[in-house]
Amino acid sequence: MNVILASLTFQPGDAGRRGLKMENNNQEPSNRTVTQLHDSHPPVPKTQKRKSQTRAAVWDHFEKILDENGQIIRAKCLYCPKEYEAHPKKHDELPFRFVEGRGFKQFMESSCPRFKIPSRWTVNRDIFGIYSEEKTDLKKLFKRTTQRISLTTDTWTSVQRINYMCVTAHFIDDEWKLNKKIVSFVPVVSHNGESIAKALESCLLEWGVKNIFTIIVDNASSNDVAIGFMKNKLVSWGGSSTRVEYIHMRCIAYILNLVVQDGLKLADASVKKIRDCVRWVRGSPSRLHKFKEFAELLEVEEKSSLCLDVPTRWNSTYMMLRTAIAYKGVFDMYMSSDNTLALEVGSVPSNSDWLSVESLVVFLKTFYDMKIRISGSLYVTSNSFLSEISDLNCTIDDMLQSMSEIQKAMGGKMKEKFSKYWGDPDKMNMIIFFANILDPRDKVEYIEDLMKQMYGESQGKSCFKKVKSKLTMLFEEYVSTYSEYIPSTTSTMMPPPPPVQSENVPVGRAQSRLKTQLKKQKMESGASLNKKSELEVYLNESTIDDTDDFDILRWWKVNSERFPILSKVARDILVVPISTVASESTFSTSGRVLDNFRSSLTPKIVEALICTQDWLRGPNQPIAVEENIDEIEKFEKELTDMRIGIGTSIRDGDNVGNSIPTIDLDEGKTNLEFVKSKSLIGPRIADLWERSGRNCDLSSAERHAE
């Protein structure tokens, strides 16, 4: 267990716990520089900064270990060889008042009595200081980069009915590493388009960022208004019409939810029956215990127990149905032995209901797996957008060809919603197609046939021509913007300067002047037969093999010298996320961000806490888009085992009030030691036993099996 000590992470069993005297010596601890680990950001130029002072007295007992920028990253104890982490401020999401809590104070009194615990106000001030420093560094990074940034944004409401908007910036740094940073978490007046647009404008002005490539939003009409406002604003800031043409990107996960929910409505009757049964079983501990006993009798090997869904979240419905199907026989046995379920629930699922749900789960798994893939935040997703909607279209077509009438009807509903958003390629953002072309495994080899299959021969062919034309226009816009900064591309992109011409025509070569003039005209018009653009060279090369370990960003990093300008196009397009999950996770990191505590803070403090934690986490953290049911199951099992294991062993003639708690013991451990070794609730039980003064030394005859 790590204990936060000022800006150190103190571990039990170290200097303060060994009885060593931590006297304040006057010797100045020497600073030792540690090579900074490879960072995904380009190195920041060293600037003169005011040296920060460490106020805590604990630093008199530790040697500071600094990185090459002078930041404290670790600390070495002066009395032992132990080293400690020096950045616990970014962990655990604890409230400010935690340092004033009785439990923390008691713990620090026993682990390090000399440590002076800071007040909540000191912690508050320190966090704002870190927030300001990190924000300044991030601003410098945005200022010196020429890469365009993509944004994801979403609006939510806290428990105090305050509307918050989160803005996350996505970019690929000079080392071709994918980055995402929360740059704004502010309250907005309402969810209407004008409020969202004003908040976005204020965010960009505050950060000094104008090179926006795309903004990914859900399908709310208010977002259409906000994006229209931002298009005009970016043009007024100097952006070209080509640059803002692709700014509006719809979240694929949001549309996928709409498609699936429309289909689920037709199967609602069967789903509701199973949901009611699951709710009834889980509604009572005795029912659930009886249900598990039946499952053991039938030797059901399903690891997950019954779970309820949230009807508005189809993915939770899929998880509920998937688990319930595994327990179908258990439900039948329960209803055969006890008719209370049928009496209280009313309508129980029939065999036809189970068959309908089983076929439904097969299709839902396809959509569920797709949702997991598109919600990734640590890998490129834009290059898979076209493949995902193509697979979705094929899945819906399979449903339309099904022998089941209910599946046909569901497929019809889904097809209507699919066609509304992705049925007309002319209304789709061309970034979807550009990203697929910039994947060296695909390029244009399959895209034309794919379009013909999805949209018909005529429309697919014209769409393919439009995509190639639009990509060429975008590439030429990059050429005009970046060619002066990349001189090495002139031999590929620009015609070479015309040779110096002599006014004397060589004898016997009367036609040389005409040839020279024609060559000059071709070169000036960019029609040199020997030179091709980077885009043409890239498309003419063969595709590469598709392997499981292929890293598209690494490929472009390696080939960026061959395609210096096209690689910039790839950086801006491949970074585009196809889902707003990065913003949504801010509101639901396992349900802990905008909880009651954070909702009670002022908006400025909330923004500082959320942004600072996101920036200090270092390597990008994967976003868990689903609850970890396995961990919950493990926790529930531990609680059950502890309840069974902890009993009351009464010797003959003993008074019941003096009964001794017993539990299964590991060899060589006393009763109390074993209880302390149990995670979560064990230490609490052991503490209660010690406080009661009971004798926990038991003979082997008094030990019970767990």
Task: Say what the pLDDT of residue 600 is.
Answer: 57
Position with higher pLDDT, 175 vs 638: 175
- H or E element in which residue 250 lies: strand 248-250
Average pLDDT estimate for 648-666 = 37
Nearest to 366 by CA among 396, 344, 337: 396
pLDDT at 82: 73
> Which range is least confidently modeled, 207-216, 352-361, 519-528?
519-528
Q: Which residue has the tokens 């834009």?
A: 382
Query: In the chain, pLDDT over 70 holds for what percent of residues?
Result: 66
Please tell me the least confidently modeled range out of 21-35, 177-191, 317-331, 414-428.
21-35
Q: Phi, psi at residue 165, to the nearest 5°?
A: -125, 130
Is the pLDDT assigned to residue 159 strictly greater than 70? no
Predicted TM-score (pTM) of this structure: 0.67
Q: What is the pLDDT of residues 383-431, one digit of tens each?
A: 988 989 999 999 999 889 888 888 889 899 999 999 999 988 888 999 9
Lowest-confidence region among 30-34, 377-381, 561-565, 581-585 = 30-34
pLDDT at 571 over 90: yes
Nearest residue to 323 (alpha-carbon basis) of 338, 309, 313 = 309
CA quadruple 661, 666, 669, 673: dihedral sign:
negative
Higher pLDDT, 690 or 247: 247
Q: How far apart are CA 611 and CA 181, in angstroms?
A: 8
| Arithmetic mean of pLDDT, 227-247 | 84
| pLDDT tens digits, 479-522 | 988 877 665 444 344 443 343 343 443 444 444 565 566 556 65
Q: SS3 string of 77-131? A: ECCCCCEEECCHHHCCCCCHHHHHCHHHHHHHHHHCCCCCCCCHHHHHHHHHHHH
Which residue would you say has higher pLDDT here, 621 or 114?
Answer: 114
d(CA 91, CA 84): 15
| Reported confidence tier of residue 124, pLDDT bands at 50, 70, 90 | confident
Q: How confident is the model at residue 562 (pLDDT cuts 50, 70, 90)?
A: very high
**Confidence at 28, pLDDT banded by 50, 70, 90:** very low
171 contacts 147 by C-beta, under 8 angstroms = yes
In angstroms, the CA 704 to CA 659 distance is 14
Residue 604 banded pLDDT, cuts 50, 70, 90? confident
- State how far the Cα of 209 lies from the Cα of 248, in Å rounded to an integer: 17
Domains belonging to the chain, first-starting first, are: 3-116 (no CATH), 131-251+580-616 (3.30.420), 257-423 (no CATH), 425-495+534-539+557-578 (no CATH), 629-702 (no CATH)
Q: What is the pLDDT of residue 17?
A: 35
What's the pLDDT at 523? 56
How much is the average pLDDT of 246-260?
A: 88
Closest CA to 455 of 413, 411, 425: 425
User: Is pLDDT above 90 for 687?
Assistant: no
Top-confidence residue, 121 or 628: 121
Instruction: State mean pLDDT over 269-273.
Output: 90
Does the pLDDT of residue 64 top 60, yes or no? Answer: yes
- Grade residue 584 by pLDDT with cuts at 50, 70 and 90: low
Residue 469, number of CB atoms within 10 A of its CB? 11
What per-residue string of b and e applies to 587-613 under the rule 16 or more CB within 10 Å gives b? Answer: bebeeebbeeebbebeeebbbbbbbbb
In this predicted structure, what is the pLDDT of residue 372? 84
Residue 153's H or E segment, with its range, is strand 149-157
What does the alpha-carbon distance between residue 409 and residue 418 come to, in Å, rounded to a whole number? 14
Q: What mean pLDDT value characterizes the chain? A: 73
pLDDT at 482: 84
Report pLDDT for 7. 35
Question: Is pLDDT of 171 > 50?
Answer: yes
647-649 and 248-250 strand pairing: unpaired
CA atoms of 677 and 686, how far apart (whole Å): 9
Output the pLDDT for position 508: 43
- pLDDT tens-digit series, residues 448-475: 888 988 888 899 999 999 999 999 999 9
DSSP assignment of 637-649, as one string? HHHHHHHHH-EEE
